[in-house]
Structure 1
Amino acid sequence: MPRMSEPTAVHETEPRCSAKGCTAPASYAVRWNNPKIHRPEREKTWLACPEHREWLAKFLDMRGFLRRVEELHEP
Protein backbone atom coordinates (compact mmCIF):
# COMPACT_ATOMS: atom_id res chain seq x y z
CA MET A 1 0.00 0.00 0.00
CA PRO A 2 1.70 3.26 -1.10
CA ARG A 3 2.07 6.05 1.41
CA MET A 4 2.65 9.72 0.77
CA SER A 5 6.28 10.76 0.42
CA GLU A 6 7.98 13.90 1.61
CA PRO A 7 7.58 16.83 -0.78
CA THR A 8 10.10 16.85 -3.59
CA ALA A 9 12.88 19.40 -3.57
CA VAL A 10 12.00 22.77 -5.05
CA HIS A 11 14.92 22.64 -7.48
CA GLU A 12 13.62 19.56 -9.28
CA THR A 13 12.01 20.39 -12.61
CA GLU A 14 10.24 17.11 -13.34
CA PRO A 15 7.18 16.38 -11.16
CA ARG A 16 7.42 13.11 -9.23
CA CYS A 17 4.78 10.71 -7.95
CA SER A 18 3.48 11.44 -4.43
CA ALA A 19 3.24 7.77 -3.40
CA LYS A 20 5.75 6.99 -0.65
CA GLY A 21 9.00 5.61 -2.00
CA CYS A 22 8.06 6.18 -5.63
CA THR A 23 10.45 8.30 -7.66
CA ALA A 24 8.73 7.82 -11.01
CA PRO A 25 7.79 10.86 -13.07
CA ALA A 26 4.22 11.99 -12.45
CA SER A 27 1.74 11.79 -15.32
CA TYR A 28 -1.43 12.68 -13.40
CA ALA A 29 -2.71 15.28 -10.95
CA VAL A 30 -5.13 13.84 -8.41
CA ARG A 31 -7.24 16.77 -7.15
CA TRP A 32 -8.96 16.50 -3.79
CA ASN A 33 -10.52 18.35 -0.87
CA ASN A 34 -11.33 17.30 2.69
CA PRO A 35 -14.62 19.13 3.35
CA LYS A 36 -14.21 18.80 7.13
CA ILE A 37 -11.07 20.97 7.14
CA HIS A 38 -10.87 22.77 3.78
CA ARG A 39 -13.02 25.53 2.33
CA PRO A 40 -15.07 24.27 -0.66
CA GLU A 41 -12.99 26.25 -3.18
CA ARG A 42 -9.67 24.87 -1.91
CA GLU A 43 -8.11 21.98 -3.80
CA LYS A 44 -5.14 19.91 -2.80
CA THR A 45 -3.09 17.98 -5.37
CA TRP A 46 -1.23 14.70 -5.24
CA LEU A 47 0.86 13.80 -8.26
CA ALA A 48 0.75 10.24 -9.56
CA CYS A 49 2.63 7.99 -11.93
CA PRO A 50 0.59 5.57 -14.07
CA GLU A 51 1.26 2.76 -11.56
CA HIS A 52 -0.12 4.66 -8.53
CA ARG A 53 -2.86 6.79 -10.15
CA GLU A 54 -5.68 4.35 -9.47
CA TRP A 55 -4.56 3.55 -5.91
CA LEU A 56 -4.29 7.22 -4.90
CA ALA A 57 -7.64 8.07 -6.52
CA LYS A 58 -9.39 5.14 -4.80
CA PHE A 59 -7.84 6.06 -1.44
CA LEU A 60 -9.30 9.57 -1.70
CA ASP A 61 -12.61 8.48 -3.25
CA MET A 62 -13.32 6.02 -0.42
CA ARG A 63 -13.10 8.98 1.98
CA GLY A 64 -15.24 11.25 -0.18
CA PHE A 65 -12.29 13.58 -0.90
CA LEU A 66 -11.65 12.94 -4.61
CA ARG A 67 -12.57 15.76 -6.98
CA ARG A 68 -10.99 14.57 -10.25
CA VAL A 69 -7.90 13.11 -11.90
CA GLU A 70 -6.26 15.11 -14.67
CA GLU A 71 -3.51 14.14 -17.05
CA LEU A 72 -0.40 16.33 -16.71
CA HIS A 73 0.73 17.95 -19.93
CA GLU A 74 4.22 19.00 -20.93
CA PRO A 75 4.81 22.76 -20.52
Structure 2
Amino acid sequence: MSDVDVCSAKGCSAPATRALLWNNPRLHTPERRKAWLACPDHQGSLGSFLGSRGFLKDDVEHESGADHTV
Protein backbone atom coordinates (compact mmCIF):
# COMPACT_ATOMS: atom_id res chain seq x y z
CA MET A 1 0.00 0.00 0.00
CA SER A 2 1.36 3.42 -0.95
CA ASP A 3 1.67 6.20 1.60
CA VAL A 4 1.51 8.87 -1.13
CA ASP A 5 -1.87 10.41 -1.93
CA VAL A 6 -2.49 10.68 -5.66
CA CYS A 7 -4.27 13.20 -7.84
CA SER A 8 -8.05 12.80 -8.26
CA ALA A 9 -7.92 13.46 -12.03
CA LYS A 10 -9.02 10.45 -14.07
CA GLY A 11 -6.05 8.28 -15.00
CA CYS A 12 -3.50 10.36 -13.09
CA SER A 13 -1.18 8.69 -10.60
CA ALA A 14 0.98 11.72 -9.76
CA PRO A 15 1.41 12.72 -6.11
CA ALA A 16 -1.13 15.28 -4.90
CA THR A 17 0.19 18.64 -3.71
CA ARG A 18 -3.12 20.55 -3.40
CA ALA A 19 -6.54 19.84 -1.92
CA LEU A 20 -9.49 21.45 -3.66
CA LEU A 21 -12.22 21.84 -1.04
CA TRP A 22 -15.74 21.95 -2.38
CA ASN A 23 -19.39 21.33 -1.72
CA ASN A 24 -22.54 21.02 -3.77
CA PRO A 25 -25.09 23.36 -2.15
CA ARG A 26 -27.95 21.20 -3.44
CA LEU A 27 -26.60 18.21 -1.50
CA HIS A 28 -24.44 19.53 1.34
CA THR A 29 -24.87 21.94 4.24
CA PRO A 30 -22.88 25.19 3.82
CA GLU A 31 -20.12 24.11 6.24
CA ARG A 32 -19.61 20.69 4.60
CA ARG A 33 -16.34 20.25 2.67
CA LYS A 34 -15.35 17.43 0.37
CA ALA A 35 -11.88 17.26 -1.15
CA TRP A 36 -10.39 16.45 -4.51
CA LEU A 37 -6.63 16.05 -4.49
CA ALA A 38 -4.64 17.59 -7.33
CA CYS A 39 -1.15 17.39 -8.76
CA PRO A 40 0.37 20.56 -10.27
CA ASP A 41 -0.66 19.47 -13.79
CA HIS A 42 -4.35 19.06 -12.87
CA GLN A 43 -4.87 21.74 -10.22
CA GLY A 44 -6.12 24.22 -12.82
CA SER A 45 -8.47 21.91 -14.69
CA LEU A 46 -9.99 20.37 -11.57
CA GLY A 47 -10.34 23.81 -9.99
CA SER A 48 -11.96 25.20 -13.13
CA PHE A 49 -14.44 22.33 -13.25
CA LEU A 50 -15.49 22.88 -9.63
CA GLY A 51 -15.39 26.67 -9.93
CA SER A 52 -17.57 26.82 -13.03
CA ARG A 53 -20.30 25.03 -11.06
CA GLY A 54 -19.91 27.25 -8.00
CA PHE A 55 -18.68 24.29 -5.92
CA LEU A 56 -15.05 25.31 -5.21
CA LYS A 57 -14.66 26.78 -1.72
CA ASP A 58 -10.88 26.69 -1.15
CA ASP A 59 -7.58 25.48 -2.59
CA VAL A 60 -5.07 24.50 0.11
CA GLU A 61 -1.69 22.79 0.34
CA HIS A 62 -1.96 19.03 0.79
CA GLU A 63 0.34 16.89 2.91
CA SER A 64 0.15 13.15 2.41
CA GLY A 65 -2.30 11.54 4.80
CA ALA A 66 -4.16 14.76 5.63
CA ASP A 67 -7.96 14.58 5.74
CA HIS A 68 -9.45 17.85 4.47
CA THR A 69 -13.09 16.79 4.61
CA VAL A 70 -15.43 18.36 7.15
Q: What TM-score comes out, normalization by structure 1 length?
A: 0.80
Identity %: 51
Instruction: Specify every segment of 5 or more residues in structure 1 that has no aligned partner in the other structure, as ranges.
Output: 1-10
Q: Distance in 1 between matches of 2:63 and 2:11?
A: 23
- Superposition misfits of 4+ residues, deviation over 6 angstroms: none
Instruction: Specify every segment of 5 or more residues in structure 2 that has no aligned partner in the other structure, as ranges.
Output: 66-70
Q: Distance in 2 between matches of 1:74 and 1:39?
A: 27
Classify the secondary structure of the residue corresponding to 2:48.
Answer: helix
CA RMSD of aligned residues (A): 1.4
Q: Distance in 2 between matches of 1:74 and 1:12?
A: 10
Q: What TM-score comes out, normalization by structure 2 length?
A: 0.85
Report 1 or 2 for greater relative contact order, CA contacts < 8 Å, sequence distance ≥ 6. 2
Contact 2:5 2:64 in 1 (8 A): no
Letter in 2 for 1:58: S
Q: Distance in 1 between matches of 2:2 and 2:61?
A: 20
Partner of 1:40: 30
